[in-house]
Amino acid sequence: MTAMAHEPLTQEEVLLEGFLALDTPEGFRAELIEGEIVVTPPPDGDHEKYISRIVRQVIKRSKTDMDFSGNKGLTVKSAVDWPMDHVIPDATFAPVDADLFGGANSWMPCEGVVMVLEVTSTKPKADREAKRRCYARGGIPFYLLADRDTSQVTLFSAPEDGDYRQHCTRPFGKSLALPEPFGFDLDTADFL
């Protein structure tokens, strides 16, 4: 009996296997975004402060009870020739009734997620562009970006054809309306 020859892996399969096998140092996170492996160091205290302020408001003030997960891995269909994107938002929100996070694997699909949050860090361009497109391709209704470099908060909405069709930007210090299922004005005065 002769051994069957294995078909060679495609470049995309090699990239995905290499990504999934990464052993990043504690506190670092690795993502596969539009065919590029992106590794980011542990965040600074201000980064975490913004996340904390936003998550607290979403949990306490939303009209729909929200669950949240910090650093939850999401898989998203890629745009063209690269493997499935693997992104890790700073915070992921879903209605409590959806029970998305209990029993979920390290990487889960985007179905049922209603909003993701990113606070810019060492790679702000990825948050502003590539990750925005990933979340839109995943059909996530809302993407909230707190941009520390520009001192603005932006809510992207209406995902269609691989990007968000609408956005609303407010400078830090001004409130930003979060529509249903949230139904409240996000206070950013604490960001100044």
Q: CB atoms < 10 A from the CB of 118, how many? A: 24
DSSP 79: S
85 burial level (CB within 10 Å; 0-12, 13-18, 19+): buried
Token representation of residue 129: 């562009």
| Class of the CATH-defined domain 44-77+85-191 | alpha beta
164: Cα separation from own chain's centroid? 14
The pLDDT tens digits for 130-178 are: 999 999 999 999 999 999 999 999 999 999 999 999 999 999 999 999 9
Distances (CA, A) of 71 to 13, 81, 173: 24, 26, 26
Asked if residue 86 lies in contact with residue 75, where contact means CB atoms within 8 angstroms, the answer is yes
pLDDT above 90 for 3? no
Peptide bond just before 181 cis, omega within 30 deg: yes
Average pLDDT estimate for 92-111: 94
Q: Is the dihedral of CA 152, 129, 114, 19 positive or negative?
A: negative
Q: What gap in Å lies between CA 128 and CA 9, rounded to an integer?
A: 32
**Per-residue model confidence (pLDDT) at position 1:** 43
Q: What is the mean pLDDT of residues 1-22?
A: 74
- CB-based contact 57:189 (threshold 8 Å): no
Collapsing DSSP to helix, strand or coil, 52 comes out as helix
- pTM, entire model: 0.91
pLDDT for the residue numbered 8: 77
pLDDT at 5: 57
What average pLDDT does the structure give for the chain? 92
**For position 142, what pLDDT does the model report?**
98
Condensed to tens digits (0 to 9), the pLDDT of residues 49-66 reads: 999 999 999 999 999 999
- What is the distance between the alpha carbons of residues 121 and 100, in angstroms, rounded to a whole number? 27
Q: pLDDT, tens digit, for every residue of 117-140?
A: 999 987 799 999 999 999 999 999
Domain boundaries, the chain: 44-77+85-191
What digits encode the pLDDT tens for the residues 75-94? 998 776 667 899 999 999 99
pLDDT for 81 equals 66
